[in-house]
Amino acid sequence: MSYNVLVVEDDMKMNEILVDYLETDGYQVYSARDGIEALSLFDHETIQLVILDIMIPKLDGWSVCRRIRQKSDVLIIILSARSEEDDKLLGYELGADEYITKPFSPRVLLAAISALLKRSIIHSAPAESIIRHKEIAINKEAYSAVLSGKELSLTVKEYELLLKFMENPGKVYRRDVLINAIWGYDYLGDGRVVDTNIKTLRKKLGDCSHYIQTVIGIGYKFEGK
């Protein structure tokens, strides 16, 4: 999925750097260099995230943030050379989702954007499409899984295994049942494919790997204790 990002930064060089990094990372980017232009673009384009510098001409970033928040729950990241606690508190009070102090690494900004968007996917999805257990959440509409707010990079089979387990916590699945359900009845490969995928899935779950338990001589179950 491609997200539309509005960059509001009056420094031409910084603006170009941000646009380049975001476009390289796959985002559709709109760019403004003052507050009036920013609000105009926001009103005429479908924007999922705003990267907003505070010290911009015509209408400052505080005012832009306030006006956007009055009509939208879009994600907002404030960029500012002002690192005082009061400035950060004001940003959050106006509805910013993140406050990043200049100078900063573009890679850190990209990581913050990714984290915000992933959390937004889970939080904004219809309740019936979300399966959640403690640190793990699955969005069935987006075909994605999140662990402690960060997206899990799962293969299709790993995702389907995790979904099967989380939909039926406590149920013990034999290996042949999992093969038929996920790989299909016509699968002719090695039966150890389940064990291999469980192993990689557990590794990606890290501290939560113990949720997938081995039932000796039978198969596996999801026991989230």
How does pLDDT run across 41-70, given as a tens digit for each residue?
Answer: 999 998 889 999 999 999 999 999 999 988
The CATH fold assigned to 154-222 is Arc Repressor Mutant, subunit A (1.10.10)
pLDDT > 70: what percent of the chain? 91
Domain residue ranges in the chain: 4-124, 154-222
pLDDT at 29: 94
Whether residue 58 contacts residue 34, with contact meaning beta carbons closer than 8 Å, is answered with yes
Indicate the fold that domain 4-124 takes in CATH. Rossmann fold (3.40.50)
Q: Using 50, 70 and 90 to split pLDDT, how confident is the model at 196?
A: very high
Contact between 169 and 223 (Cβ < 8 Å): yes
Q: Which residue has the higher pLDDT, 75 or 127?
A: 75
Q: Is the dihedral of CA 45, 71, 64, 54 positive or negative?
A: negative
CB 4 within 8 A of CB 23: no
Who has greater pLDDT, 149 or 11? 11
Q: Which residue has the tokens 């904004």?
A: 124
- What are φ and ψ of residue 15, in 5° steps? -60, -50
pLDDT at 37 over 90: yes
